[in-house]
A = this chain, B = another copy of it.
Amino acid sequence: MRHTALGATLLLLAMTSLTQAGKVADAAEAINSHWLVTADLHGTPIYGRLDIEQQGQKISGQFYGDQFEGSLDGNAIHFVAKDSTGGTSKVDAALKSGLLSGTVVETDAADESHSERYSFVAVPIRQEHRATPLHHEFTPSVFYREFSASNKPVLTVNPGDSIHTTTVDAAGTDQHGQRRVLGGNPQTGPFYVQSAMPGDTLVVHLTRLRLNRDYAISDDGLVGRATDSRLAVKMKDAGKTVIWHLDIDNGVASLQKPGAHMAAYTVPVHPMLGCIATAPEPSHGAPNTGDSGSYGGNMDFNEIVEGATLYLSVSVPGALLYLGDGHAVQGDGELNGNALETSLDVEFTVDVIPRRRTPGPRVESASHIMAMGLGGSLDDAFKSATANMAGWIAEDYKLTPEEIAELFGTAAEYRVSEVADRNAGVVLKINKERLQALRSKDAN
């Protein structure tokens, strides 16, 4: 299916967006725009994007990502969009009070006898940056346990704004040691980012990620994906909760009740966010906060630290940004099932790259760009990471498939990010030094 469900809440937000948009110009000028489409499919509200370019009586553009050409006739437009399988969407609509209202008749290429008709309404998408970004201090009082498009936003911000807030640990305990919510990676947010629309990319820059309490909770066993039969037998009695002391001043963690050989063991802390997500497509359901996907989620990647920048796909108006599941430090893979789970003090800025698709989570540090692959096995995650990075390089540097192979063959660095959750994670990193020489004259 090419449709996506939209919560009723979002329709209201879209309407709000319209109200903010101010007065509408004449029809042709108004039509020549980007639209957020909301439709009703057999009781499920869905939305998508309509991009129209108008030239005289001719219009062209994309409807739910499918190309179309059509005509403008006074306030009315007519076009037929084709998808990659040959299916068509015949659209008739009219502009009234700044809204586009109309009907769609969908026909499958192979199934012309089974066409389908539904109605829609569309509002224009406005991208306006404030002259001066705002800073928001946000104290969370509710914590969600699903990356859902239906949860009410806790704060609305603009691209460029910065937000300072806190997260509770994976078990729902805050910086004061108070349990606030049932465990399972409860999240701070969602934050609604103005102008972020399906098909855009949300950019989150983590400007501050700090410890705000002196202990973390972890386990002393190894997860199943890390243990073969023999090691599983050796580990059969392990898997108990352990407490780590966090020495914030010195930036190290040590076990509260260490075994004989770990008495002197300390490890430098590197606070990271285990979870950061946009709301996924609502028609795909609402994943619990232990899951991950193209929307980010519970990635448990230990390079999502202070200074890192995240790129995440936007699937719903406002993006609906969630974050949580702080770790004081975590080895690759989160081998204990729990890392050093703790509450965190978090500050970040948000931005939007319009009409840029991001097929999977991407991260940027001072030295590297990193593309994450998530899948049911490390083998699938590895392929997914490679494809994610290949797409990134092709978009930004226009490299041919052969050139991409040459780059990867000499510069690929793979890390295993996560083996403790339903999805395994692998990250392909490319050192930015390798990228500097990639833009040829032809590519500019």
Interface residues of A (CB under 8 A from B): 1, 3, 5, 41-44, 46, 85-87, 108-111, 114, 116, 145-146, 171-173, 177, 179-184, 217-222, 224-243, 253, 255, 257, 259-267, 283-288, 290-291, 329-336, 339-340, 375-380, 382-384, 386-387, 390, 397-416, 419, 422-424, 426, 434, 437-443
* Complex interface: chain B residues within 8 A of A442 (CB): 260-261
The 3 closest A-B pairs by CB, nearest first: A376-B376, A285-B288, A331-B412
A283 touches B182 (CB 8 A): yes
**Which residue on chain B has the smallest CB distance to residue A268?**
B433
Q: Which residues of B contact A438 (CB under 8 A)?
A: 261-262, 264-265
Chain B residues with CB under 8 A of A240:
85-86, 109-110, 402
B376→A423 contact, CB < 8 A: yes
Q: Which of B171, B286, B398, B439 contacts A285, CB < 8 Å?
A: B286
Instruction: Pick the residue among B266, B329, B383, B415 that contacts A437 (CB under 8 A).
Output: B266
By the criterion CB–CB under 8 Å, are A414 and B261 in contact? no
Does B424 contact A376, Cβ atoms closer than 8 Å?
yes
Q: Report the Cα distance A108→B402, complex, angstroms.
A: 17
Give the docked Cα–Cα distance between A380 and B231 (Å). Answer: 13
Contacts of A329 in B (CB 8 A): 410
CA distance A401 to B236 in the complex (A): 9
Given A287-B285, A415-B414: A386 touches B260 (CB 8 Å cut-off): no
CB of A229 to closest CB in B, whole Å: 4
| Contact assessment for B1 and A260 in the assembled complex, using a CB-CB cutoff below 8 Å | no
Shortest CB distance A103–B (Å): 15
CA distance A366 to B403 in the complex (A): 34
Query: A217 vs B284: C-alpha distance in the bound complex, in angstroms?
Result: 21
Which residues of the partner chain B approach A390 to less than 8 Å between Cβ atoms?
A: 231, 234
Distance between A415 CB and nearest chain B CB, rounded to angstroms: 6
Rounded to whole angstroms, the CA-CA distance of A424 and B397 in the bound complex is 30
Q: In the bound complex, how far is the Cα of B402 from the Cα of A46, in angstroms?
A: 32
Q: Is the CB of A416 within 8 A of B419?
A: no
Besides A42-B181, A42-B182, 17 new A-B residue pairs in contact (Cβ under 8 A), listed by A number? A110-B241, A225-B383, A227-B387, A230-B232, A231-B390, A233-B236, A234-B390, A235-B401, A259-B406, A261-B438, A261-B439, A261-B440, A265-B437, A266-B437, A267-B410, A336-B408, A375-B376
User: With A and B bound together, what is the CA distance between A199 and B32 in angstroms?
Assistant: 59
Which residues on B sit within 8 Å (CB–CB) of A397?
A: 261
Q: Taking CB as reference atom, which chain B residue is nearest A223?
A: B229
Residues of B within 8 A of A218 (CB): 406, 409
Given that A241-B111, A422-B376 are contacting pairs, would A263 and B42 also be in contact in the complex, using a CB cutoff of 8 Å? no
Partner of A183, one of B1, B267, B378: B1
Chain B residues positioned under 8 Å from A384 (CB to CB):
228
Q: How far is the CA of A86 from the CA of B238 in the complex (A)?
A: 12
Closest residue on chain B to residue A337 by CB atoms? B409
Q: Which one, B44, B184, B231, B265, contacts A386 given CB within 8 A? A: B231
Q: In the assembled complex, how far is the CB of residue A429 from the closest CB belonging to chain B, in whole angstroms?
A: 9
Contact yes or no, B335 A409, CB < 8 A: yes
Provide the bound-state CA to CA distance between A336 and B403, in Å: 11
Kindly identify which residue among B222, B233, B257 contacts A233, using a CB–CB cutoff of 8 Å: B233
Q: Which residues of B contact A290 (CB under 8 A)?
A: 284
Could you say which residues of chain B place their CB within 8 Å of the CB of A383? 225-228, 231
A237 to B236, alpha carbons, bound, how many Å? 13
- Which residues from chain B contact A424 at a C-beta distance below 8 Å? 376, 379
Bound CA–CA A146/B146 (angstroms)? 14
Nearest to A423 among chain B residues (CB) is B376
On chain B, the residues within 8 Å of A398 by CB distance are 261
**Nearest CB of B to A180, in Å:** 6
Please, how many angstroms separate the alpha-carbon atoms of A42 and B172 in the complex?
A: 9
B110, B182, B241: which contacts A242 (Cβ < 8 A)? B110
Cross-chain contact A332 with B414 (CB below 8 angstroms) = yes
Please indicate the chain B residues that have their CB under 8 angstroms from the CB of A387 in the complex. Answer: 227-228, 230-231
Contact between chains at A409 and B261 (CB < 8 Å): no
Residue of B nearest to A226 (CB): B386
Cross-chain contact A286 with B286 (CB below 8 angstroms):
yes
A32 → B minimal CB distance (Å) = 31
